[in-house]
């Protein structure tokens, strides 16, 4: 999956910065999008998706919305909904464009109206060869199903970057969490590519259920990292996570204080059957979940 992302010479892909949900933005998500765009010479597309369901709801006379911290319910008038959303989108796009310009990353903006995942799927299908979706809002416990659906429905996405309510850091080493041996090479390559572009170190975090398996993977990792060209920029750590327990992995993440983490979707951290809840309590940096 990531092999072609990491390889130089491939036609540039896209980083799709997806917003349109709750108005809480994660600056770290935007920074992560710029980081990936800069690394892979990819364009960032600021994609604002107007949820069609909201327009459907606005047709109802009893439609109204409420925001935390504000007094009571506000009517949701259909007449002004589009204008309000476009204004919001424009503001978001401006913010993203400014950040992109400062980062030296090409950026385009788009507004689509549809059911969010369908719109996203369409957007990713339009351009290739690869897309990484960056979710602009921090994930919440309600996003379990949404994340699963995203990976299921948006087939043309290589990976998804998420942030949590505690995410505050985008500087620091790049940590690649490897739970299966065959992913080690591509994950390391991707991490190295990102790290080199931004003069960071790489931590290769090997996770296993059993000591012997872990030991073997770690030794292979060390052989891989012994390349003189790497110049000591890669360090290897192993985490014993028996019974697929995510807690030791979370501790490791906290300890290394990365600026970006790479992990496999469907691994210990997050997967179709795993709740996002633990991540919301420990994710301090953006997390790139790859297929």
Which residues sit at the interface with another protein, rule CB under 8 A?
Answer: 20-23, 50-51, 53-54, 56-57, 59-60, 62-70, 72-74, 76, 81, 84-85, 88, 115, 140-142, 165-166, 168, 254, 257, 277, 280-281, 284
Nearer to another protein, 63 or 230 (CB): 63
* CB of 168 vs another protein, minimal distance in Å: 7
| Pair 286, 162: CB distance under 8 Å | yes
Strands, DSSP E only, in the chain?
14-19, 43-51, 64-66, 73-75, 107-114, 131-135, 157-162, 174-178, 202-208, 234-240, 260-264, 287-290
* Per-residue tokens: 180: 């299966």
* CB of 282 vs another protein, minimal distance in Å: 9
* CB of 89 vs another protein, minimal distance in Å: 8
Nearer to another protein, 70 or 229 (CB): 70
* Per-residue tokens: 238: 């192993």
Peptide bond into 129 cis (omega under 30): yes
| Pair 197, 36: CB distance under 8 Å | no
* Per-residue tokens: 171: 């500087």
* CB of 241 vs another protein, minimal distance in Å: 21
Nearer to another protein, 5 or 279 (CB): 279
Q: In 3D, which of 233, 185, 239 has the Cα closest to residue 213?
A: 239
* Per-residue tokens: 199: 């003069």
* CB of 215 vs another protein, minimal distance in Å: 30
Nearer to another protein, 165 or 185 (CB): 165
Nearer to another protein, 71 or 212 (CB): 71
* CB of 146 vs another protein, minimal distance in Å: 10
Nearer to another protein, 229 or 273 (CB): 273
**Who contacts 218 (Cβ-Cβ below 8 Å, separation ≥6)?**
206, 236, 238
**Who contacts 190 (Cβ-Cβ below 8 Å, separation ≥6)?**
2, 5, 6, 176, 262, 290
* CB of 137 vs another protein, minimal distance in Å: 8
Nearer to another protein, 6 or 270 (CB): 270
Nearer to another protein, 9 or 68 (CB): 68
Tell me how far apart the alpha carbons of residues 218 and 225 are, in angstroms, rounded to a whole number. Answer: 10
| Pair 193, 227: CB distance under 8 Å | no
* CB of 32 vs another protein, minimal distance in Å: 18
């Amino acid at each position: 999956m990531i092999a072609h992302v990491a390889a130089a010479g491939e036609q540039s892909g896209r980083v799709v910065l997806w917003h349109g949900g709750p108005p809480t933005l994660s600056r770290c998500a935007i920074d992560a999008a710029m980081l990936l765009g800069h690394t892979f010479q990819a364009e960032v597309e600021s994609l604002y998706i107007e949820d069609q369901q909201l327009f459907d709801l606005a047709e109802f006379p009893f439609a109204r919305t409420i925001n935390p911290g504000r007094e009571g319910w506000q009517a949701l008038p259909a007449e002004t909904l589009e204008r309000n959303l476009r204004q919001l989108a424009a503001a978001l796009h401006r913010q993203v464009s400014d950040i992109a310009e400062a980062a030296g990353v090409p950026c385009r903006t788009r507004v689509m109206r549809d059911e969010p995942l369908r719109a996203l799927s369409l957007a990713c299908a339009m351009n290739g060869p690869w897309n990484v979706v960056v979710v602009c809002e921090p994930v919440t416990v309600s996003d379990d199903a949404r994340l699963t659906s995203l990976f299921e429905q948006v087939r043309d996405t290589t990976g998804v970057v998420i942030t949590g309510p505690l995410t505050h850091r985008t500087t620091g080493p790049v940590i690649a969490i490897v739970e299966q041996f065959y992913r080690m090479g591509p994950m390391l390559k991707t991490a190295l590519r990102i790290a080199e572009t931004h003069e960071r170190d790489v931590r290769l975090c090997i996770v296993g259920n059993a000591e012997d398996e872990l030991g073997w993977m770690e030794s292979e990792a060390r052989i891989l990292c012994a390349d003189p060209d790497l110049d000591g920029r890669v360090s290897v750590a192993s985490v014993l996570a028996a019974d697929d327990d995510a807690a030791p992995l979370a501790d490791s993440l906290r300890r290394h204080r990365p600026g970006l983490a790479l992990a496999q979707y469907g691994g210990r951290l997050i997967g179709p059957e795993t709740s996002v809840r633990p991540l919301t309590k420990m994710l301090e940096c953006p997390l790139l979940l790859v297929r």
